[in-house]
Structure 1
Amino acid sequence: MNLSNPTLITFVIYIVAMILIGFIAYRATKNFDDYILGGRSLGSFVTALSAGASDMSGWLLMGLPGAIFVAGLSESWIAIGLIAGAWLNWLFVAGRLRVHTEYNHNALTLPDYFSHRFEDESRLLRIFSALVILVFFTIYCASGVVAGARLFESTFGMEYGTALWVGAAATILYVFIGGFLAVSWTDTVQATLMIFALLITPLFVIFSLGDMGAVMDTIAAQDPSNFDMFKGLSFIAIISLLGWGLGYFGQPHILVRFMAADSVKTIPNARRIGMAWMILTLAGAVTVGFLGIAYFADNPAVAGAVTENGERVFLELVKLMFNPWVAGVILSGVLAAVMSTLSAQLLVSSSALTQDFYKAFLRKGASQTELVWVGRAMVLLIALIAIGIASNPESKVLGLVSYAWAGFGAAFGPVVLISLVWKRMTRNGALVGMLVGAITVVVWKEFIGLGLYEIIPGFIFASVAIYLVSLMDKAPADSIQQRFDAADAEYRAG
């Protein structure tokens, strides 16, 4: 590995900058509320970009462009579904969740919110939801560690084992030091880097190819069906791709951004910023993949890497389009995508262990300082488990990542959404809804299938279960309904 490599130098500068932000956030972290929720102090810009960056992992810069490069525009349905789902999440959940979590004992985590929203003295909601978070996010974190290792391995020729630790160490360090503020501030920088990378690269590809009409002719000459949005897709396949958008209602690492906004009045502006960022980055990713078809058709001599692996189309175009210093900055966008999602997942997992197990069951009277240090210890513990799983990149456990988005979306999504709009919902309705959603995802995936993405039946069945069980239950206590009404009134006034 050449230590004078400009790309390596820019990566090192970028990582050092992220760690410095972690130290700045450390000085602003006074208590556990600050460490896991930033003291509910995020403005609209940081709320929007940190939600976007924590959502979009390396898939945005590698997986999506690669899919478009290989199969054409028919692969863009998932982007349309994600945009619709994210917009509905901002519209119906973001503001309400910000207010309702504050009214419900200033809840710091989703399990915390569920427990107080339904006055669950049995603690079953807290235990089950925290376990779901820990299991799915530990696997999710492992996939992020693998993605980071693969990036360092392919860019700098590192051994996989070395790349594993190098890729994970920087993220772990700034989460450990600075907590939620560090994650949110670095997410904002990373989101900016990601949008810069995805908007500038297509422009340079177009300039290098010359005439846009000729570009379209080249793509059509390769395969006219590249332009066909419906190529090889049945109605069920399209619905399944659009169904990815349902996942947003239940993703803890995204929902926690809404909880951390400084007020409900911040949300509308954050929604506009967040959706603009998301639409531009997804459009950029689709464009990169699509233009890559024309570029490598015109330049077959440099197409070896993308022919072998379509997911390298963005990386290869950047290396070919830009001088090494600029390429280093743009390729840092891939690292940013990986680090932003991994950091958000590490922190949510740490929060679940610290707030929902340690404080709730072991040390109710723990001081704020003690909780912050326990939270830091939990970040290290989860990270080490994730690195252990990732040390075997072929591990079948990583295949479970395909369940995680659907699992969270079906288990938590209906519970979160309905609990914010219907005061008649009960504890038993929430618990049964979570169980039905999670079980449906697994059973559908393993035994039924039918070509339909499992989040769709999971979300529908969980919603029906919540409604029916809540109606069969006795009405919630007056205190629950009064608290709901007060929170709802504040939301509408905002």
Structure 2
Amino acid sequence: MKAFVVMGAHEVAGGYLPHLLLGAYMVLLVWLCYLGYRKGKSTEEDYYLAGRGQGLLVSALTIMATMFSSAALLGIPGTVYRDGLAFVPFAMNLTVGGLGIYFLGTRMNRLGKARGYVTPADMIGEYYGGTSIRILAVSTGVLYVLPYVIMQIKAGGYLAERLFPDAPPIHVLGREFDMFDTGVWVLSLLTMAYVLVGGMRSVAWTDVVQGFLLLTGMLVAGLATVLYFQSQGGFFRAVSTLPPEALTMPGATGKWNPWMIFSICTIVALGAVIQPGQWMRFYAARSVKTLRQCALIFAVVLPTCFIFGIMVVALGARVEFPPAWKAPVDELQAAEAWHGDGDYAEGARVRYADGLFEAKGKVSSGQVFEPESWNPVQKLFPHEALGPEPSDTDKAVIVMTQLAVPEVFGAVFGSIVVTIILVAVLAASMSTADSNLHALSAVLTRDVYDRYVSPDASERQKTWFGRAVIVVATICSVALVEFSNESSGFNPLKLITQLMLLALSFCSQLLPVAIDVLFLNKGTQAGAVAGLSTGIAIVVLLNFFPEYSLGVTSVLHLCAVGVLANALVFILVSRFTRKVPGDRVEQFRRIIRGER
């Protein structure tokens, strides 16, 4: 195992450097929360949209910070670490996302200001009419937010483990909390607190700080990685030594074929910019001009930071801490040892010479083990410096940063830089968690409580209901993370990238109706309901039973399969059902064209 600086040399601030910098960062967040509270008004619109007056700096950074979550700084580089260059084209989804902001976001902004929309369901529900379409829009929001918040909270646990590797467990109310548990709870409670108090204004202002931190942190980590490899002949020479499986498609795990990457960089990318938190930011921007400028910044700055920052770090980690194909320990222990006098059916598993093998067909008894009759059963495990589990690939950026930065900048200054970079990763998690908790609160308050539960509620009652949603959602997410961390069996919450893509698969189901409302105006209420229902059902079904896709999800991402089925049903049903009233369509068109 490579020896490297884990965190903060002991000579720096008496070993308390992580505590000091992290404490300063949290104090700054609390101060911004207080300012947001002082400036805010006690109205639903101000709490959720900050008065619809966000300028270029705040809009650009809050949109980018919401997009760049722990998936971008931990999960995606973890996938690059595992699969190599095959996943690097994923960065193109950010350019497509910028186009989505330019063409979709600007039209949403005009409609939101003219008609007072707060949530995605406000626009979709008013255009098509009826309760069903609004409830389905709410469902996609809820199904998106929970996995996304969960993965941000997991990242807080990972970072706490790395920031304070030698810290003893904390005992509270008779329960022992290790550093993972402590990080999960601290990130969750702090994020929940400033969202509760300051609403959108506090969220957006903290996103400005977090946006600067994460953009700077990515580029500094990438620079340090490139400089680190100069002593080995240069970064590109080092990467060229990777095994062929890490240099070509479909990658080491065989998953990232060109069609899979294309579907992610188009449909998933557009789905990401219409997630509830981003949709509300389009409503909150000061003007269409502001959003167009944001789109340009987004399309240029984020791909640059992604490719020359964390992608570089992930590939460097692949070189310095190579993963290895191994038989899963639990499956190896459960398998019976091969013996020459036995007969084995197709699919039977045996243990032989520290390896796990599965019979290709019926294998008859024999005194010699014949490898050509058996398939090795292996998974790609990360280097021991990252951790023992396959999901520990998500720690690639953290481990590589802790190796390269002190080596390049020196132990003392390097420790400061490492701490700031890890705080930047924490900032990415918090900026996305706060946006999604805030959006979930708006969706359930505006589209459920306000409309169906208590239509006569006062502004104060609605605001407090929204805050209660934030508390309940945070506690449920923490409980799921704790369950995931302790579970040794089926665990769908392990890999951050998988959580991200599952969440985006749900919110992307709003893409066909959004395009229809904003551009085409051909769909019907029945078509929208049928299409959304189909898309959501397919994502749920194929996520748990991928074999039912008959191999389609091995070529196209699940998100794209759901959206394509959604769009097809939407078009077919709309051809034979009652159209949206013409005067309503004309009202929307006039607003989108900028006419009074």
TM-score normalised by length of structure 2? 0.75
**1:266 Cα shift?**
1.2
Q: What's 1:481 paired with?
A: 585
Higher helix share: 1
Q: How many Å apart are 1:47 and its aligned residue? A: 1.6
Counterpart check, 1:145 vs 2:169: no
Whether 1:170 aligns to 2:190 is yes
| Contact 2:124–2:134 (CA under 8 A) maintained in structure 1 | yes
Could you tell me how far 1:379 is from its partner in structure 2?
Answer: 1.2
Aligned-pair CA distance for 1:420: 0.7
Match of 1:115 among 112, 119, 125: 125
CA distance in 1, matches of 2:225, 2:582: 62
Taking the aligned partners of 1:137 and 1:206, their CA distance within structure 2 comes to 36
In 1, Cα distance between equivalents of 2:318 and 2:520: 49
Amino acid of the structure 1 residue aligned with 2:461: E
Tell me, yes or no, if structure 1 residue 372 matches structure 2 residue 476.
no
Unaligned runs of 5+ in 1: 298-302
Counterpart code for 1:346: L
Asked whether the equivalents of residues 229 and 238 of structure 2 are also in contact (C-alpha less than 8 Å), the reply is no
Structure 2: gaps (5+ residues)? 1-6, 170-177, 323-382, 407-413
SS at match of 1:174: helix
CA contact (8 A) 1:194 1:281 kept: no
Q: State whether structure 2 residue 513 is matched by structure 1 residue 415.
A: yes
2:503 aligned with 1:404: yes
Work out the CA distance in 2 between the residues paired with 1:342 and 1:430.
Answer: 29
Distance in 2 separating the partners of 1:279 and 1:382: 32
- Call closer, same or farther: CA 1:432–1:421 in 2, change over 3 Å: same
Deviation at 1:370, TM superposition (A): 2.6
- Map 1:5-404 onto structure 2 (within 5 A): 5-30=16-41, 31-80=43-92, 82-103=93-114, 105-118=115-128, 120=129, 122-157=130-165, 159=178, 160-210=180-230, 213-223=233-243, 226-228=246-248, 231=251, 232=254, 233-242=256-265, 243-248=267-272, 250-283=274-307, 284-294=309-319, 304-306=384-386, 309-320=392-403, 321-322=405-406, 323-394=414-485, 396=491, 398=493, 401=499, 402-404=501-503
CA distance in 2, matches of 1:87, 1:113: 21
Secondary structure at the aligned position of 1:210 is classed as: helix
Q: Percent identity?
A: 25
Moved more, 190-199 or 42-51: 42-51
User: What letter is aligned with 1:382?
Assistant: A
Larger displacement relative to structure 2 (393-402 or 309-318)? 393-402
- AA partner of residue 18 (structure 1): L
CA distance in 1, matches of 2:215, 2:249: 25
**Is the 8 Å Cα contact of residues 505 and 539 (structure 2) preserved in structure 1?**
yes
Q: Summarize the Cα distance change of 1:217–1:245 in structure 2 as closer, same or farther, 3 Å threshold.
A: same
Q: Is the 8 A contact 2:96 2:299 kept in 1?
A: no
CA contact (8 A) 1:65 1:311 kept: yes
Deviations 1:116-142 (CA, angstroms, capped at 9, x unpaired):
222x2x422222222332244234322
1:466 Cα deviation after fit: 2.3
Query: Which has a greater percent of strand?
Result: 2
Instruction: Give the SS at the match of 1:391.
Output: helix
Deviation at 1:267, TM superposition (A): 1.5
- In structure 2, C-alpha distance between the alignment counterparts of 1:472 and 1:249, rounded to whole Å: 31
1:16–1:427 CA distance, 2 compared to 1 (3 A): same
Change (3 A) 1:250 1:461: farther
How far does residue 423 in structure 1 lie from its aligned partner after superposition? Answer: 2.5
Q: 1:246 to 1:224 in 2, by over 3 A?
A: same
- More deviation, 178-187/158-167: 158-167
Instruction: Indicate the SS of the match to 1:305.
Output: coil
Q: CA deviation at 1:483?
A: 1.3
Shift of 1:106: 0.8
The size of the alignment, in residue pairs, is 482
Root-mean-square deviation (CA, aligned residues, Å) is 2.6
SS of residue matched to 1:108: coil
Change (3 A) 1:154 1:392: farther
Distance verdict in 2 for CA 1:227–1:102, change over 3 Å: same
Offset from partner CA, 1:407-430 (integer Å, 9 cap, x none): 211x21111122111233322222
> Which one-letter code corresponds to 2:493 in the other structure?
L
Q: What CA distance in whole angstroms lies between the structure 2 residues aligned with 1:270 and 1:70?
A: 33
Structure 2: distance between partners of 1:295 and 1:203:
16
Q: What is the TM-score of this pair, normalised by structure 1?
A: 0.90
Are 1:97 and 1:258, in contact at CA under 8 Å, matched by a contact in 2? yes
Deviation at 1:111, TM superposition (A): 1.4
Q: Deviations along 1:429-466, whole A, 9 cap, x unmatched? A: 22122112112223344221430311112112222222
Q: How far 1:68 sits from its partner (Å)? A: 2.4
Higher mean alpha-carbon deviation, 283-292 vs 239-248, is at 239-248
CA 371–180 in structure 1, closer or farther in 2 if over 3 Å, else same: same
Q: Counterpart of 1:486 in structure 2: which amino acid? A: R
> Could you tell me how far apart the structure 1 residues matched to 2:230 and 2:558 are?
44
CA 1:235–1:424: 2 relative to 1, 3 Å: closer
Kept after mapping to 2: 8 A contact 1:407/1:441 = yes
In 2, Cα distance between equivalents of 1:102 and 1:425: 23
- What is the deviation of 1:345? 1.0
In 1, are the aligned partners of 2:56 and 2:294 still within 8 Å (CA)?
yes
